[in-house]
């Protein structure tokens, strides 16, 4: 593909009755409400424009897009004038040309004429419009041209604002308002002195700007432009691919010069993001070229030795021989593996296939164990399938949005912006969260109810909401009769109706005033379409699975499943965590969530793979570590996951890894887990391979290779799936895939929900939401539309069982953990980018009362101690957290928040209870001895022996 900008229709798409009109003699039919500008663009008539772009509502300020309409006086702006039946429009007349040229002269009289040395040269709308209106002279002179010279704002690490190049079209301001919803920008001053200002003119970095890039994308000149374009020049080709950060699954145009990535620009056609992005996907891709990346395979006999760089052949042979040796010595089930939610569906499928077919056991698990495994259990039990019920677009039809244990503006920012947009349009919001997240109150948005519950009391709170709905007669009886198991409903309704489950009875337990809870329950049940979005604040508890089922119960009781605007939607964390679960990464399930004990399903795979499968479930990650400590589990293949940093109780994880004889890590960097590895296989980034990711709305999207893998000699390395295939071949398996499309064909052949998925269809449709099969050949935006996948929806009684993690005199505070916008999970990627400018360390949020009681001032070093361990970090005093609750992020290995978290976990899935740890906080002098030792040991374990010189 050669480089062209995405077509810009000038104003947003409309839906309505068809209206026919004539533009420059051409008949045109468009939906009512469409602007003349858009209608013209649809028949390839480009009316000159500067302040209009199709991601924003029309504004009508630049006066370039004037047209003539038969029977109307004057020259209306085509961006703000909607089409009308039988309208006759002329876009090019002598008068219009003269007017446009005159306006253009005014613009250029205040614009430097340094086009040849300007960073937007060749990609500038102002330049294009000057050309198209035939500007030849500027009668007003050029004196105004550089009056804002020298006022550049270079504070943001990713883009530069140069007011001298600004034409004050307000596109950036409107993008920040309408698309991102942060409202950080404004036009300051008047006339020639007009200038875009971030917050109170404090500069972009210190301002409220979240660096999503919407303003840069909207800018028609080089006033706001990516620093990479300033450094490298404009791109010469673009490839559409899918972001590898969170579960929103934004699609981007990777704009390239040769093998060099110039910029990532959100793709307007992308159905998950509709042309929007966040600071991570848009800008934080520098890790892919970071010098810390390991590009050669390495081995060592013991973890005390330095690494030795070896050839791919030697490393692969070592993995195969070590795994076979261990199995001969300790048994078939003595090894296992972990698939990566960062990798593609095809790669994940191959890793679980390697384990089931090659290792001959089911010891496979994935990071969903520590995030959304309760979603799998809970939604499968109640609805019959382990996934969100809606597409993201559904939120546009929601009337009441219930957000539980999720922080979309930080964790899923692009979808967070969609929620905010819907809220600005009038939808009501209920937030259930111990912390006052940004959604609770931000510009133009205020939650109708914020229920700041005590961590660990989700089930009690949701059951009390159900109590209100049932006892006040707010249930949707017709829906329940038609679609749900009525016996189970009756049992559940009786349970929740007991006085002990009322909001008043649990007020002391949850800390939420009963009246607020009642009002929130009434709003959800009666406010129109009710949509629930939840995150890890639901799942990472000892009752994570129960909470998911309690949510499903609420949605069924109110008839809020099965149509747009409603539903139960887990906001999945990783880019492909939905996919890795779909692909059979759990030890008890084959791809498509079918239990390994089901002999018919097993037979299907056995026939295809020519092998007998182990009918018994395998070990979960934490069970693997237990078994390792006990001496029965000896080897592990870990693809793209850092369990030492991300899993709870670091000491336990370290002991398990240390007890193994062969730990193989496939990753981009020497991550924390690699400190205990014997073989390191360098990974490839999402930019270096083909495949698919599946996002939180079950949307399967293509990942396309835009550059050669760097993990090999002469820039010719291997995609991760190729490395797994080589390991499989070395272990004697007959694999011969030459492209991931063939792996997808195998997935489709073996998995009913994917039966209709092919790369050709993905190419044609852009994306597909599973199930894609005979019944739904184009995919399924809304699940459970006519009936629940399991048949009748199942109400499950969810009794509140308090966690065993208790506060007491020694550990009086409750720690809960979360994420921040600029960093991503363990930070392996984002810490290797300029995103460090926003969040260079993890801080402990503590309420002023708790801080004062302990003599802690803002910024002080404090020790954070639990029954599991101790660490130190700096305090951040804030009223976002309630008294008695403290909060931190887990992005930095120096902090090691998981030294603190305990082994307690969800009763059904062993998903760790990250969100509730009893702790004590005290002033401290700086990093603990343990942290210093850890740092020293990390350096020791990362030594690499230089390879022998070639000559």
Partner 1 sequence: MEGTGAMMSTDERLAYMAGQILRNFAVKGQEAAIAATVDHIVQFWDPGMKARAVAMLSDPDAALPEDVRAVFARVQKDSAPA
Which residues sit at the interface with partner 1, rule CB under 8 A? 333, 362-363, 495, 542-543, 546, 587-588, 595, 597, 616-619, 623, 626-627, 629-630, 632, 649, 651-652, 797, 799, 801, 804-806, 808, 867-869, 902-904, 907-910
How many angstroms separate the CA atoms of 96 and 49, rounded? 13
- Min. distance of Cβ 469 from partner 1 in angstroms? 19
Tell which residue, 213, 214, 206, has the closest CA to residue 227: 213
Please, are residues 152 and 160 in contact by the beta-carbon 8 Å criterion? yes
Strands 251-257 and 237-242: antiparallel
Element (H, E) at 532: strand 530-534
Tell which residue, 64, 62, 54, 4, has the closest CA to residue 34: 54
Residue with tokens 């090659």: 358
Work out the angle at residue 651's Cα, subtended by the Cα atoms of residues 645 and 655, and round it to the nearest 5 degrees.
105
Please, are residues 894 and 931 in contact by the beta-carbon 8 Å criterion? yes
How many angstroms separate the CA atoms of 891 and 116, rounded? 43
Pick the closer one to partner 1 by CB: 621 or 846.
621
How many angstroms separate the CA atoms of 721 and 884, rounded? 47
Pick the closer one to partner 1 by CB: 378 or 452.
378
Would residue 649 be called left, alpha or beta, if left means φ above 0 and alpha means ψ between -120 and 50 degrees? left
923-to-810, 850, 855, 880 alpha-carbon distances in Å: 15, 12, 7, 21
How many angstroms separate the CA atoms of 602 and 618, rounded? 14
- Min. distance of Cβ 770 from partner 1 in angstroms? 24
- Min. distance of Cβ 541 from partner 1 in angstroms? 12
Phi, psi angle pair for 638, to nearest 5°: -115, 115
- Min. distance of Cβ 584 from partner 1 in angstroms? 15
E-assigned strand segments in 24-124: 26-31, 68-69, 88-90
Pick the closer one to partner 1 by CB: 228 or 542.
542
Pick the closer one to partner 1 by CB: 491 or 879.
491
- Min. distance of Cβ 587 from partner 1 in angstroms? 7
Which residues does 773 contact at the CB level (< 8 Å), separation at least 6?
Answer: 752, 753, 754, 755, 756
Structure tokens at 152: 């550049």
- Min. distance of Cβ 666 from partner 1 in angstroms? 24
Please, are residues 886 and 815 in contact by the beta-carbon 8 Å criterion? yes
- Min. distance of Cβ 871 from partner 1 in angstroms? 14
- Min. distance of Cβ 663 from partner 1 in angstroms? 19
Longest CA–CA separation in the chain, Å:
91
Please, are residues 335 and 326 in contact by the beta-carbon 8 Å criterion? yes
Q: How many CB atoms lie within 10 A of CB 143?
A: 9
How many angstroms separate the CA atoms of 355 and 703, rounded? 24
Tell which residue, 280, 292, 330, 322, has the closest CA to residue 822: 280
Element (H, E) at 364: strand 364-366
DSSP state, residue 136 = -
3-state secondary structure 686-749: HHHCCEEEECCCCEEEEECCCCCCCCCHHHCCCCHHHHHHHHHHHCCCCCCCCCHHHHHHHHHH
For residue 195, the cross-strand partners are 188
Element (H, E) at 22: strand 18-23
How many angstroms separate the CA atoms of 38 and 45, rounded? 9
Pick the closer one to partner 1 by CB: 78 or 650.
650
- Min. distance of Cβ 495 from partner 1 in angstroms? 7
- Min. distance of Cβ 621 from partner 1 in angstroms? 12
How many angstroms separate the CA atoms of 295 and 710, rounded? 7
Which residues does 544 contact at the CB level (< 8 Å), separation at least 6?
Answer: 373, 374, 378, 538, 906, 908, 909, 911, 913
Which residues does 477 contact at the CB level (< 8 Å), separation at least 6?
Answer: none
Looking at the chain, the number of H-run helices and the number of E-run strands are 29, 37
- Min. distance of Cβ 593 from partner 1 in angstroms? 13
Tell which residue, 96, 104, 87, has the closest CA to residue 23: 87
CA atoms within 13 A on the CB side of 599: 0
- Min. distance of Cβ 793 from partner 1 in angstroms? 19
């Amino acid at each position: 593909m050669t480089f062209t900008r995405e077509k810009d229709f000038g104003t947003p798409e409309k839906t309505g009755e068809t209206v026919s009109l004539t533009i420059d003699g051409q008949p045109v039919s468009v939906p009512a409400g469409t602007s003349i500008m858009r209608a013209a663009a649809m028949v390839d008539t480009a009316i000159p424009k500067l302040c209009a772009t199709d991601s924003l509502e029309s504004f009508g300020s630049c006066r370039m897009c004037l047209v003539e309409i038969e029977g109307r006086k004057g020259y209306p702006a085509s961006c703000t004038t909607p089409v009308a039946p039988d309208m006759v429009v002329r876009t090019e007349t002598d008068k219009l040309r003269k007017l446009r040229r005159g306006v253009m002269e005014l613009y250029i009289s205040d614009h430097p004429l340094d086009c040849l040395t300007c960073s937007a040269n060749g990609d500038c709308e102002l330049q294009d419009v000057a050309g198209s209106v035939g500007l030849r002279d500027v009668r007003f002179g050029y004196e105004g041209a550089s009056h804002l010279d020298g006022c550049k704002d270079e504070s943001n690490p990713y883009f530069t604002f140069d007011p001298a190049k600004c034409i004050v079209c307000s596109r950036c301001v409107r993008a920040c308002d309408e698309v991102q919803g942060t409202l950080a920008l404004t036009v300051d001053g008047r006339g020639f002195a007009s200038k875009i200002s971030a917050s109170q003119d404090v500069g972009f970095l210190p301002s409220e700007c979240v660096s999503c890039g919407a303003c840069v994308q909207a800018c028609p000149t080089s006033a706001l432009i990516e620093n990479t374009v300033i450094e490298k020049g404009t791109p010469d080709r673009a490839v559409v691919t899918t972001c590898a950060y969170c579960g929103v699954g934004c699609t981007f145009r990777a704009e390239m010069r040769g093998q060099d990535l110039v910029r990532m620009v959100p793709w307007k056609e992308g159905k998950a993001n509709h042309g929007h992005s966040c600071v991570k996907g848009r800008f934080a891709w520098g890790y892919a070229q970071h010098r810390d990346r390991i590009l050669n395979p390495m081995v060592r006999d013991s973890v005390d030795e330095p690494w030795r760089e070896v050839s791919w052949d030697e490393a692969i042979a070592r993995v195969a021989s070590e795994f076979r040796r261990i199995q001969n010595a300790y048994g078939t089930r003595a090894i296992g593996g972990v698939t990566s939610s960062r990798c593609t569906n095809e790669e994940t499928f191959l890793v679980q296939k390697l384990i089931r077919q090659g290792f001959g056991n089911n010891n496979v698990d994935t990071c969903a164990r520590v995030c959304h495994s309760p979603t799998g259990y809970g939604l499968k039990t109640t609805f019959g399938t382990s996934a969100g019920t809606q597409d993201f677009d559904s939120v546009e039809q929601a009337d009441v949005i219930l957000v539980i244990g999720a922080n979309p503006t930080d964790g899923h920012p692009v979808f967070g912006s969609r929620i905010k947009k819907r809220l600005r349009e009038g939808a009501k919001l209920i937030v259930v969260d111990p912390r006052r997240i940004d959604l609770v109150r931000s510009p133009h948005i205020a939650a109708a109810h914020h229920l700041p519950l005590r961590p660990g009391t989700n089930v009690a709170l949701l059951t009390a909401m159900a109590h209100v709905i049932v006892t006040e007669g707010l249930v949707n009886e017709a829906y329940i009769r038609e679609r749900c198991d009525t016996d189970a409903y009756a049992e559940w309704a009786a349970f929740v109706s007991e006085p002990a489950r009322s909001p008043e009875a649990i007020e002391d337990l949850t800390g939420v005033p009963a009246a607020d809870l009642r009002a929130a329950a009434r709003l959800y049940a009666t406010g129109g379409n009710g949509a629930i979005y939840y995150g890890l604040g639901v799942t990472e508890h000892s009752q994570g699975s129960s909470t998911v089922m309690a949510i499903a119960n609420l949605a069924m009781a109110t008839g809020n499943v099965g149509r747009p605007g409603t539903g139960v939607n887990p906001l999945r964390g990783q880019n492909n965590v939905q996919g890795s679960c779909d692909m059979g990464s759990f030890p008890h399930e084959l791809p498509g969530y079918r239990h390994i004990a089901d002999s018919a399903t097993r037979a299907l795979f056995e026939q295809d793979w020519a092998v007998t499968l182990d009918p018994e479930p395998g070990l979960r990650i934490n069970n693997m570590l237990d078994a390792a400590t006990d001496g029965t589990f000896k080897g592990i293949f870990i693809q793209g996951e850092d369990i030492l940093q991300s899993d709870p109780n670091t000491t336990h994880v370290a002991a398990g890894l240390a007890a193994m004889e062969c730990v193989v890590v496939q990753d981009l960097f020497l991550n924390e887990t690699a400190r205990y590895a014997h073989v390191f296989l360098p990974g490839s980034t999402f930019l270096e391979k083909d495949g698919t990711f599946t996002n939180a709305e079950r949307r399967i999207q293509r990942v396309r290779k835009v550059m050669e893998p760097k993990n090999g000699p002469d820039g010719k390395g291997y995609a991760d799936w190729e490395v797994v295939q080589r390991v499989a071949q070395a272990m004697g398996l007959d694999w011969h895939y030459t492209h991931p499309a063939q792996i997808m064909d195998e997935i489709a052949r073996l998995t009913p929900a994917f039966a209709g998925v092919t790369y050709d269809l993905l190419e044609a449709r852009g994306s597909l939401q599973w199930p894609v099969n005979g019944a739904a050949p184009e995919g399924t935006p809304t699940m459970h539309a006519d009936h629940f996948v399991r048949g009748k929806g199942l109400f499950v009684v969810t009794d509140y069982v308090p966690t065993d993690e208790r506060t007491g005199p020694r550990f009086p505070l409750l720690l809960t953990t979360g994420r921040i916008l600029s960093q991503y999970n363990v930070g392996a990627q984002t810490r290797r980018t300029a995103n460090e400018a926003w969040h260079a360390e993890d801080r402990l949020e503590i309420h002023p009362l708790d801080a004062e009681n302990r003599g802690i001032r803002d910024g002080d070093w404090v020790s954070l101690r639990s029954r599991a361990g101790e660490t130190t970090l700096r305090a951040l005093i804030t009223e976002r957290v309630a008294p008695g609750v403290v909060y931190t992020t887990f992005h930095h290995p120096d902090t090691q928040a998981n030294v603190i978290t305990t082994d307690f976990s969800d009763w059904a899935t062993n998903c760790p209870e990250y969100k509730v740890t009893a702790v004590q906080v005290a002033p401290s002098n700086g990093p603990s001895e343990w942290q210093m030792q850890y740092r020293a040991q990390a350096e020791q374990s990362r030594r690499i022996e230089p390879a022998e010189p070639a000559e």
